[in-house]
Amino acid sequence: MAEKAIHAEGVAEKDRMDEDRLDAWMREHVEGFAGLAAYSKFAHGQSNPTYRIEDEAGRLYVLRRKPFGKLLPSAHQVEREFRAIDALYPVGFPVARPYALCEDDSVVGAAFYVMGLVDGRVLWDGMLPDLEPADRTSTYRAMIGTLARLHNLDYKEIGLEGHGKPGNYFERQVHTWTKLYRMAETETIPEVEKLIEWLPRTVPEQTRTSVIHGDYRLDNMIFAPDRPEVVAVLDWELSTIGDPLADFAYLAQNWVMHGEGGSALGDRDLAGTGIPTLEEAVAYYCELTERDSLPELDWYFSYNLFRLVGILQGIKKRWLDGTASSTEAEERSKRVPELAQAAWEFARKAGATA
């Protein structure tokens, strides 16, 4: 390796990996790997740094690693990601081909895994402005259909029985996010106090258990270059065994969220766009998962926003402590009160009283 140059175009020194060790490891563990020729880091911010790898034969791979340095025990779980796609790929679910997992930090400085590079489109705007109405309909149906396909899998049969705890998913989540919020709390927000009291008392009954993705959204999937088909679902770090309505309600939240760009549809007039209404999305998911109906989604929307409040409160605490000093961190932390109010409004629609 020392006698030939490895191209690492645009990779900052802090993101460079030990190229000799990486080359040797991939030759040993990645089928067909012909030697490291080049690598680059994807620009979009992932919690796990992600690289495009090219070998001497021109074959392309993706490497996802944990950040370098000291980490929280439960964060940046590339092992969880790999085990999910390693179970899903053999049964034909659309994920990138998993090649190998390395849990030895001495190879590149952190645990990582290697998967195939999937060719296709990542869509960012929920209005799908570049598509015709018929293709918008098909794209949304593909997104919902792929989720239903995941939820219809028998997690025991595909070897993911140990991927999470099967019961009381939302009960555990409410407890977890309440605890995290309290750890990051900087002021008393009345709506959050009411949610902390109301949510655990009113957790809906869990009637089904499945693999859940945990962050199922438009920009976490790759669509085929020439047709409305999901060819890979990405970012399985938050995947677990739980209530499939966690995934569906998270996706359905787009229809009631407000904001320009992104996946939010709450401000948009969908008439004539080809994008299904929320009622149509629910009906299609129910058809594919053989449900008669779904419970009212307002409780789930309230929980989703409560969870987001917890996430942003954590960012706010780090910003105030000086460990997240970016302008973006400051702006995101300002949304905590308005999101808490929105969460309580959904709670009221679900039957909560002041």
Question: 298: left (phi > 0), else alpha (psi -120 to 50), else beta?
Answer: alpha
What is the CATH code of the structural domain delimited by 133-349?
Answer: 3.90.1200.10
pTM exceeding 0.85: yes
Long-range contacts, stretch 3-10, CB < 8 angstroms, 24+ apart: 6/36, 6/37, 6/38, 6/39, 7/37, 7/38, 7/39, 8/38, 8/39, 8/40, 9/38, 9/40, 10/40, 10/41
Which 8-state DSSP code applies to residue 43? S
What's the half-sphere exposure (Cβ side, CA atoms, 13 Å) at 257?
19
- 194: its two tokens: 């009411």
Same fold, 13-116 and 133-349: no
Based on the number of CB atoms within 10 Å of its own CB, is 249 exposed (0-12), middle (13-18) or buried (19 or more)? buried
For the stretch 177-231, pLDDT in tens is 999 999 989 999 999 999 999 999 999 999 999 999 999 999 999 999 999 999 9
At 321, which amino acid appears?
D
**How long, in residues, is the chain?**
354
Q: Are 267 and 258 spatial neighbours (Cβ–Cβ below 8 Å)?
A: yes
Cβ contacts of residue 303 below 8 Å, gap of 6+?
170, 173, 174, 199, 249, 343
Domain definitions of the chain by residue range: 13-116, 133-349
Identify the CATH homologous superfamily for domain 13-116: Phosphorylase Kinase; domain 1 (3.30.200.20)
Which 8-state DSSP code applies to residue 210? E
- 288: its two tokens: 């594919």
Q: Are 98 and 113 spatial neighbours (Cβ–Cβ below 8 Å)?
A: yes
Give the mean pLDDT of the chain. Answer: 91
User: What is the residue-level pLDDT of the chain in tens, covering all 354 positions?
Assistant: 444 557 777 788 888 899 999 999 999 999 999 999 999 998 765 578 899 999 999 999 999 998 877 655 555 679 999 999 999 999 999 999 999 999 999 999 999 999 999 999 999 999 999 999 999 999 999 999 999 999 999 999 999 999 998 889 999 999 999 999 999 899 999 999 999 999 999 999 999 999 999 999 999 999 999 999 999 999 998 899 999 999 999 999 999 998 766 889 998 999 999 999 999 999 999 999 999 999 999 999 999 999 999 988 988 887 887 765 566 777 888 889 999 999 999 999 999 997
